């Protein structure tokens, strides 16, 4: 059996991210990083990641009120029959979109 030995541990793939910020914002970032005992780079990465996760989560999760949730469930259980407007849309879709 062949054994592969690495001289250094695998490093994560990274990419460069640059931003020019106004001096007051840079000073604020410097202060916040210092207060948390982090380097500016570590602080910025952690803060951006935390905020990015929050934004993505907010856009991926659909939160419904109890009434909306009930209405959705009812529509899934017993969907209404297509009305004239929906039939028109489906007809236009069939004429303009080619299915391959």
Q: Classify residue 7: in a domain, yes or no.
A: no
Q: Is 37 a domain residue?
A: yes
In a domain, 41, yes or no: yes
pTM of the model: 0.56
Does some domain include residue 62?
yes
Q: How many domains does the chain have?
A: 1
Instruction: List Cβ neighbours of 90 (8 Å cut-off, separation of 6 or more).
Output: 82
pLDDT on residue 100:
73
Residue 8 lies inside a defined structural domain of this protein? no
Residue 14 falls within a domain, yes or no? Answer: no
The 3-class SS string of the chain reads: CCCCCCCCCCCCCCCCCCCCCCHHHHHHHHHHHHHCCCCHHHHHHHHHHHHHHHHHHHHHCCCCCHHHHHHHHHHHHCCCCCCHHHHHHHHHHHHHCCCC
* Residues 6+ away with beta carbon under 8 Å from 40: 29, 30, 33
Task: Tell me whether residue 67 is in a domain.
Answer: yes
**Residue ranges making up the domain that contains 78:** 23-96
4 band by pLDDT with thresholds 50, 70 and 90? low
Q: Find the angle CA(79)-CA(81)-CA(84) to the nearest 5 degrees.
A: 135
- Residue 19 tokens read as 């931003």
**Structure tokens of 59?**
């856009």
Residue 99 is predicted with a pLDDT of: 75
pLDDT tens digits, 76-93: 999 989 999 999 999 999
For the cut 80, the answer to whether the pLDDT of residue 8 exceeds it is no
> Is 16 a member of any domain?
no
Residue range 22-66, pLDDT digits in tens: 999 999 999 999 999 999 999 999 999 999 999 999 999 988 999
């Amino acid at each position: 059996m062949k054994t592969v030995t690495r001289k250094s541990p695998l490093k994560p793939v990274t990419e460069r991210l640059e931003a020019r910020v106004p001096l007051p914002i840079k000073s604020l970032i410097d202060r916040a990083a210092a207060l948390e005992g982090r380097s500016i780079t570590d602080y910025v990465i952690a803060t951006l990641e935390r905020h990015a996760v929050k934004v993505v989560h907010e856009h991926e999760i659909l939160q419904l009120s109890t009434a909306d949730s009930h209405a959705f469930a009812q529509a899934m259980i017993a969907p209404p029959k297509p009305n004239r407007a929906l039939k028109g849309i489906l007809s236009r879709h069939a004429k303009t979109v080619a299915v391959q």
